[in-house]
Structure 1
Amino acid sequence: MKSNKVCILGGTGFVGRHLAATLSANEVKCVIPSRHPQRHRNLQVAGQAELIQANPFDQQELEPLLEGCDAAVNLAGILNESGDKRSFKRIHIELTDTLVNACKAAGVRRLLHMSALNANEANGPSIYLKTKGEAENRAHTLGQPQIKITSFRPSVIFGEDDSFINRFASLLQMAPGPFPLACPNARFAPVYVGDVVQAMYNALDDPSTWGKHYDLCGPGTYTLKELVEYTAQTLGIHKWIVGLSPGLSALQARMLGLVPGKPFTYDNYLSMQVDSVCSEDGLGQLGIEATRLESVVPYFLGQRSERLRYYQLITRQR
């Protein structure tokens, strides 16, 4: 049976915005709980979702939003902690428990859960990966037998409005002199956000995906240094990328973890001690041909460069 209505936790985030667009284009109504729906009116204006003010951590507020939904999607997650209210345990584990219990109470029998590649409750090298692993395990165990759950474990996700390629692009454009890069040899298989969203859509109404965990990777594997060098080259920036040793990488992580916004933390450093590459082709299993990074990144970085040149021109004229 085709799903007609889906509730998305984390629907205002990077992947959530793309998923809402894909579902809406396929005539699936999206309901997105948000504490501050006024900040995301663009989703409503585009006709992609119904944003409803609610606290997703409160099961009593969540249950009415889930009633009448054919499925729920959990995209909630953070890369860095920021106080008790944005802790890994609260966002990854407690929110997952609340959603599963709310689904049971509201009669929702389908749940798509976003995890992370290398998520491992017992052996994850970082708190992020441990809590992601625990949340994934709890979703599958707590949901049984009523809820049919499918998990997705992507490598780093890229796209026009990502916080990965675009973050390095910003740093490269701002930083003077050589660019010191922590963990230069960490390996990734970046996966396109459009492919991640298509994987979730393909799995939504497919019973063969129930109870499964899909690793999602792009077709190419790169070191972090190669990705940053490619970003600089695509932007037309000539900059020396200096790979730091493990000791200096850890030191940089501890220092940047004290900076407002926490651009890089020691927990991030620990996550990068294990390569973010797939041993199985989850996209292929879901009938998707992975998109190459080189076919997408030049397009949105080119737009970024044009906006920067326009801003610089206007600034000079003033």
Structure 2
Amino acid sequence: MRDSNVVVIGGTGFIGGHVLARLAQDGVGTRVAARHYETAKQLTTLPYLDLELVDIHDDAALRRLLTGCDAVINLVGVLHGGHGRPYGPGFRHLHVELPRRIVQACAALGVPRYLHMSALGASPSGASMVQRSKADGELAARSQPQVAATIFRPSVVFGPGDHFLSLFARMQRHLPVVPLARPNARFQPVYVEDVAAAFALALREPHLGGATIELGGPQVYTLAELVRLSGRYAGHERRILGLPDWAARLQARLFELLSGEPLLSRDNLDSMKTDNVVDPQTQALTADALGIKLTALEAAAPHYLAAESSLDHYREHAGR
């Protein structure tokens, strides 16, 4: 893959940074799309990487970005996209219309490979708008037969810079008790470096061009267990107060009324009605089948959560 040219869309986020670092390690040349330089400047230190300032929602600009590339990786995803049936306009725009436009451009330009980030639980009959829009996004990703689309369905992804365990750790620094919605919801968190390894492997292996790959870590946890572990590793474990469903929905509704992205939405609650774990009954490949040695949460999370907790403490006392 050293002479390849891969376009990465959504590369400025948490997972994108790790995927790009892994591709750089493998000597893969990448073009990264960004709307503004400030959101991506931390990536410019990586070798074999070109930063392209471009509006990916402009069809002409998207085609210029993809011209001459060998594959496209799309990591774009949101947890909040408005309300509607079967899902809100933000979900439609980013989860469905964007991948459809990308693969249409790939087909027109002769780009043979497309790697698409979906999620465990994606289903047209899913309880949440996220799940339903992710399912339609998978259909959009495979809407051009001449473009081989690889679908990735991870569980929640953890690692340095995540917005999952790190969020729970920060909450416990400031709250004496954690009121927790759906404490018994089950997850199979996967380490971000293992996700990056799966993308890098799929790029190297043409036979994975039409595959669906489900990515879960080596162990399943309840949400309460994950919150408890995040607090313990950050040095300030708190008591967890499980909320009944009516109180959880009220909490989510109150969060939705606040400015900015909510910590928890009613749609997030709906997503947690389904266990976020790899289903052995599906025909999807898994990390084990690909030969990826999965990283245990207990091996990675204590290091970065403790470091982030120390940094939070420094910022607090420095008045930042």
**Is the pair's TM-score, using the shorter chain for normalization, greater than 0.5?**
yes
Matching of residues 95-244 of structure 1 within 5 Å: 95-121=98-124, 123-140=125-142, 142-144=143-145, 146-175=146-175, 177-244=176-243
Counterpart amino acid of residue 144 in structure 2 = G
- Match of 1:55, SS? coil
Q: What is the deviation of 1:38?
A: 3.2
Counterpart contact for 2:231–2:237, Cα < 8 Å: yes
Equivalent pairs counted in the alignment come to 312
Counterpart contact for 2:82–2:91, Cα < 8 Å: no
- Match of 1:21, SS? helix
Q: What is the deviation of 1:312?
A: 4.9
* Distance change (3 Å), C-alpha of 1:72 and 1:312: closer
Structure-2 residue corresponding to 1:63 = 63
* TM-score, normalising length: structure 2: 0.92
Structure-2 residue corresponding to 1:308 = 312
Counterpart contact for 1:3–1:70, Cα < 8 Å: no
Counterpart contact for 1:59–1:101, Cα < 8 Å: no
Q: What is the deviation of 1:231?
A: 1.1
Instruction: State the Cα deviation string for residues 120-141 of structure 1 (Å, max 9, x = none).
Output: 12x111011100000102211x
Mark the runs of 5 or more structure 1 residues left unpaired by the alignment.
none
Q: What is the deviation of 1:314?
A: 4.6
Q: What is the deviation of 1:313?
A: 5.2
Counterpart amino acid of residue 93 in structure 1 = V
Q: What is the deviation of 1:39?
A: 2.7
> In the aligned structure 1, how far is the partner of 2:121 from the partner of 2:262?
22
Counterpart contact for 1:3–1:71, Cα < 8 Å: no
Q: What is the deviation of 1:86?
A: 7.1
Once structures 1 and 2 are overlaid, which stretch shifts more, 284-293 or 39-48? 39-48
* TM-score, normalising length: structure 1: 0.93
Counterpart contact for 1:118–1:124, Cα < 8 Å: yes
- Match of 1:227, SS? helix
Mark the runs of 5 or more structure 2 residues left unpaired by the alignment.
none
- Match of 1:257, SS? helix
Counterpart contact for 1:189–1:221, Cα < 8 Å: yes
Counterpart amino acid of residue 95 in structure 2 = H
Instruction: State the Cα deviation string for residues 279-314 of structure 1 (Å, max 9, x = none).
Output: 246101111011100000000011112223434555
Counterpart contact for 1:156–1:191, Cα < 8 Å: yes
Counterpart contact for 2:11–2:75, Cα < 8 Å: yes
Counterpart contact for 1:189–1:276, Cα < 8 Å: yes
> In the aligned structure 2, how far is the partner of 1:38 from the partner of 1:86?
27
Aligned sequence identity (%): 38
> In the aligned structure 1, how far is the partner of 2:33 from the partner of 2:153?
23
Q: What is the deviation of 1:171?
A: 1.4
Q: What is the deviation of 1:24?
A: 1.2
Instruction: State the Cα deviation string for residues 105-161 of structure 1 (Å, max 9, x = none).
Output: 22110011110001012x111011100000102211x120x1111100000000011
> In the aligned structure 2, how far is the partner of 1:218 from the partner of 1:36?
34
> In the aligned structure 2, how far is the partner of 1:28 from the partner of 1:43?
14
Structure-1 residue corresponding to 2:94 = 91
Once structures 1 and 2 are overlaid, which stretch shifts more, 5-14 or 280-289? 280-289
> In the aligned structure 1, how far is the partner of 2:105 from the partner of 2:171?
41
> In the aligned structure 2, how far is the partner of 1:235 from the partner of 1:310?
14
Show structure 1 runs of 4+ deviating over 6 A.
83-86
Instruction: State the Cα deviation string for residues 249-281 of structure 1 (Å, max 9, x = none).
Output: 122111112222211101101001100011246
Counterpart amino acid of residue 222 in structure 1 = Y
Counterpart amino acid of residue 138 in structure 1 = A
> In the aligned structure 2, how far is the partner of 1:48 from the partner of 1:291?
27
Counterpart contact for 1:3–1:205, Cα < 8 Å: no
> In the aligned structure 2, how far is the partner of 1:110 from the partner of 1:3?
15
Counterpart contact for 1:179–1:241, Cα < 8 Å: yes
> In the aligned structure 2, how far is the partner of 1:157 from the partner of 1:137?
23
Structure-1 residue corresponding to 2:299 = 295
Counterpart contact for 1:10–1:74, Cα < 8 Å: yes
Counterpart contact for 1:113–1:150, Cα < 8 Å: yes
Structure-1 residue corresponding to 2:244 = 245
